[in-house]
A and B are shown apart, each in its own frame.
Chain A
Amino acid sequence: MENMIEVISLEKIFGKKQALNNVSFQVKKGETFGFLGPSGSGKTTTIKILTGQMRPTAGTAKVFGEPVSKLNTPEYRKRFGVVTDNSGLYARLTIYDNLKLYADLYGTSLQRIDEALEAVNLGSEKKTQVAKLSKGMTQRVLLARTLLHKPELLFLDEPTSALDPANSKHIHNGLKELNRQGTTIFLTTHDMEEADHLCSQVAFLNKGVVQLLDEPKQLKKQYREEVIGLELKDGRELELPLQSSSAEEIQQYISREMVERIYTKEPTLGDIFVEVTGRELV
């Protein structure tokens, strides 16, 4: 499958601080790739390099098969979209006026404004002045702005960090739909549930180093504890090996109607991150 992003031995040094150290990964067409790490781990630096806003110190970064230095043309910029945590809107203008500017810049029809606003659950707010929006609504307008031109590749830097659970879910569904339609998504987040829900592949970035890269399902399989947990009605909790030999014992508890709950001990991506890096995701 075609690579949308190809990063080989990428390095970025700010003064004496090494922000990225020998980072390598590929993002295939149609994939939702999660770049996970705590604040200051190098996620935003990577997005800046991949979108041509920053030059790497060493290594290769290619987007659409071309070096990122070639991304500074209108033709390339029409093919990708970016939402970062410091993207801004024109506060004195309405949501519609903000989106109309970008619809004109990208050469898309004005009808797309309504469609993009519907996708972020803001269809009825288009005449509202941006200055009157909450942080979460502003974030949704920024997402709508990025969806206007249906980019082939979408860079999202913490897209739901300011949103409540209901709106996060709405955005997640919208992103899944966009991905189904063929958009490749490069997502940075420290929300492991979000990554688990959306990403087909994740990379753990810690202090500028990619420490793990795999499918969430594979990671959970690799790091899970091979036990079955039983919570009994008398309050006791038992852990039995995930083997056929445990079946008889479990059956006995069930037949005596002693079982409150049965569960497997599958780690979350957050648990795996802590185990691999020794750091919490904050």
Chain B
Amino acid sequence: MTFSVKRFMAIFQKDLKDLYRNMYVSSTALMPLIFAVIYGRMDNVTIEMHLFVISMSLALVGTFLQCAMIAEEKEKNTLRGLMLSPATLTEILSGKSAVTILITVIVTGISMFIMDFSFSGRIGLMAGIVLSLIFFIALGTWMGLITRSVLEASVYILPVMFIFGMGNMFIMFAEQYAFLQILEYTPGLQLQEIVELEDAGAGFGELWKPFAIIGAWAAAMVVLAAVTFKKRMMD
């Protein structure tokens, strides 16, 4: 399999330039920052609040940005042009994902800066965020491929935001509503598990379970996105 850095960069630059001019989609990235400002002004900012904003960034920026970019390519018939060009599936998806990763990392970084949170010494959490980001971007890719327009993508993102972005908040009601216990297995709650284990002094050997769960989500979604993309290459 070939991978051309030039083709990857061409797609990355084009998407960055296009996104810069797309106020509808790029303004979504402001949402986690708004939450960061609100929570950051509180007297006691708990780790749960930090993780809520991180999950929100991953779901809303990572997933929605990727989903909207791909949905728009389909809506405007530009994805077919890329598919018929020499760019491979890997180059197209990695070029787009690189833009989403860059913006998600910037938004998450600024949000945490606003909330006065330091990642220093939290290697497990950072690794967990990176692994979760793979899941959220693959989810965005898959959703972009199954939706027909940016408007449709904006509707489809709502359940993703509630389940994966706000899972840390809804888990509080799990005792009243048993079905919400499923949220414990979402990447956001697994990040919380990693933080709790890290704070309790657990080593990497004891962190395998949350990493395995997030890894399973990521692997399953990457496979689903790749299979769907290959199917979409054919009419």
Contacts and interface: CB of A to CB of B under 8 A. Distances in A.
Interface in B1-38: 2, 4, 6-7, 9-11, 13-14, 17-18, 21-22
A97 to B, nearest CB: 6
Contacts, number: 73
Contacts of B233: 53, 72
Interface in A54-90: 54-55, 72, 74-75, 77-78, 82, 84, 86-90
Contacts of A54: 234-235
B77 interface: yes
B77 A87 contact: yes
B85 interface: yes
A126 interface: no
A101 interface: yes
Main secondary structure of the interface of A (DSSP, over half): loop
B80 A101 contact: no
Interface in B118-143: none
Given A51-B84, A86-B80, A104 B10 contact: yes
B76 interface: yes
Interface string A216-258: 0000000000000000000000000000000000000000000
Nearest to A97: B17
Interface residues of A, number: 29
Given A48-B235, A74-B2, A88 B78 contact: yes
Contacts of A92: 18, 21-22
Interface in B164-196: none
A84 B81 CA distance: 10
Interface of B: 2, 4, 6-7, 9-11, 13-14, 17-18, 21-22, 76-78, 80-88, 233-235
Interface of A: 48, 51, 53-55, 72, 74-75, 77-78, 82, 84, 86-93, 97, 100-102, 104-107, 145
